Amino acid sequence: MDQRIRELGAEIRQRVERVKITLQGSPPGRRYLQELKRLQGDTDAVFRSLRLPSGQTAHVVYLDGMVNADEVEERLIKPLLLWAPKKKADLKLLREKVLTAADLEEVAFPPDLLTGVLEGKTALFLEDAPGALLAEHFGPAQRKVEKPAIEFSIRGPRDAFTETLSWNLALIRRRIRDPALRVRTLQVGERSKTTVCLVYLENVAPPQVVQEIEKRIRRVRVDAILDSGYLEQLIEDHWWSPFPTVNGSERPDAVAAGILEGRVAIVPDNTSYVLIAPVTFDGMFHSPEDSYERWLPVNLIRWIRFIAAFLAIATPSLYLALTAYNPGLLPRRLALKAATAREGVVFPVAIEVFLIQISLEIIKEAGFRTPSPIGQIFGVVGGLVLGEIGVRAGIFSELMVIVIAITALASFSLPTFPLATTVRLLGFALLLFTTVLGLYGFLLGLFLLGVHLSSLSSFGVPYLTPYTLLPFSDWKDSLLKLPLTLFRKRPTFLQPQDQVMQKPRPPAPLREDRSGRADSK
């Protein structure tokens, strides 16, 4: 680490010296131009020199495609050319009286200017004046805010994050208009120079967690961060675990809810999937709309999710254990039915289960990869044809098709995509245990799952929280969801600085009768 810092320091000093030596004695603007000339060979770099009425030369530099050229024309070039006074201009004057661009940042160090242009900003500087201006928000045509593609909900807001960082930040800010909302900006990626923002409530989020997340992000030394998934894998606690210890969402309301609880959102540029940490196993079963619906139906839905997760993991393994290893456990009529259904099936149960499980995964994957209308049809037709013909050909039994249908439906009913993929993987692992040791292997597999979950943590928060804590205040939004009026405090396992989430409601105002007298009824 220290060596890396020393190397970076030496590199910066060398660059500064190089710029000083080559440009010594030249006008200040020439230094900026010289630095930016490194881009001149690129076909997308636009260099525009303007002769102002004052006789000065101004340079505008930007990367075509990353900047909207019309906006540059309208807000930078046109005001400059239309500016009539022959008085000699400086950057302060231009910024305050001439240019109409809203967001202008002044830089003095040439490498910063180059970085700014590479980030998609427009550089403006005068040849004979020190300093340069970087204009922001001249973005190219960007994807508009659209409906969530994965985390669809029946009730709740319909907007989702886009690939533009500033819009994503705005979507969060629109929901939390609190001056304590902090946006800390970092740059990650040796070559991509991706901007990553940490968003949190300064007086709620535990400072040690914010510091730890920032520290881990600063330690990342990778060429590029092309998606939040890169960052997730580079900062997570347990890289070897199938369970994600950093969660994500494409919904601003979900991220805002997390921030309000005391978590930290990690918003990288160029991705519509925002990360949030710390997370717990229980949180993977929550959907944002749980907070929008009334509490009683939400409890039913949440338990259905828990049952679905268990069924998605365990159904094929249980089928295998009960039909191949311990058929004596089934009631006689059911055992006979199962045996009759398997009559004519050419493979042993274990191979049959593996074959159909793999077929199901192939159909799922094909459905995801093909365009959506075709993908849906493909999934249904593929499933039907494969099931029907597989049964007729004696590859699968009818009971097996039912088992796999339950598994598939259960896996689709999970609220978060990372959980759904983890469950698919765990299903295979449990199947392997059961194939080797039958019902005992199934139990051992479940036990191993529990052991693994109990050994995980996310930024210091045990992953199995709140199932293993006695403070029942943390249980109000876990296995059961209590009415919103009882949500007075934030989850204590996050150790928020400000614990109060909902203050007691003031007493109802006295009702006034027509004569204006207060009526306490």
For another protein, the closer of residues 145 and 469 by Cβ is 469
Shortest Cβ 466–another protein spacing (Å):
9
Shortest Cβ 261–another protein spacing (Å):
14
For another protein, the closer of residues 344 and 450 by Cβ is 450
- CA pair distance 231, 216, nearest whole angstrom: 10
What are the beta bridge partners of residue 62? 46
Smallest CA-to-CA distance from 118 within 4, 20, 42 is with 42
Contact (Cβ atoms closer than 8 angstroms) between residue 131 and residue 28: yes
- CA pair distance 425, 282, nearest whole angstrom: 18
φ and ψ at 61, to 5 degrees?
-130, 135
For another protein, the closer of residues 231 and 322 by Cβ is 322
Shortest Cβ 417–another protein spacing (Å):
25
The length of the chain in residues reads 521
Alpha-carbon separation of residue 467 from 225, 230, 280, 491 (angstroms): 35, 30, 10, 13
Shortest Cβ 457–another protein spacing (Å):
8
Residue 214: exposure state from Cβ atoms within 10 A (0-12, 13-18, ≥19): middle
Shortest Cβ 461–another protein spacing (Å):
6
For another protein, the closer of residues 281 and 396 by Cβ is 281
Shortest Cβ 328–another protein spacing (Å):
7
Interface contacts to another protein, rule CB under 8 A: 206, 208-209, 212, 237, 278, 326, 328-332, 335, 433, 437-441, 443-444, 447-448, 450-455, 459-462, 464-465, 467-470, 493-495
For another protein, the closer of residues 205 and 408 by Cβ is 205
For another protein, the closer of residues 292 and 440 by Cβ is 440
For another protein, the closer of residues 340 and 455 by Cβ is 455
Shortest Cβ 201–another protein spacing (Å):
17
- DSSP per residue, 158-210: -----S-HHHHHHHHHTT---TTEEEEEEEE-TTT-EEEEEEEETTTS-HHHH
Contact (Cβ atoms closer than 8 angstroms) between residue 423 and residue 313: yes
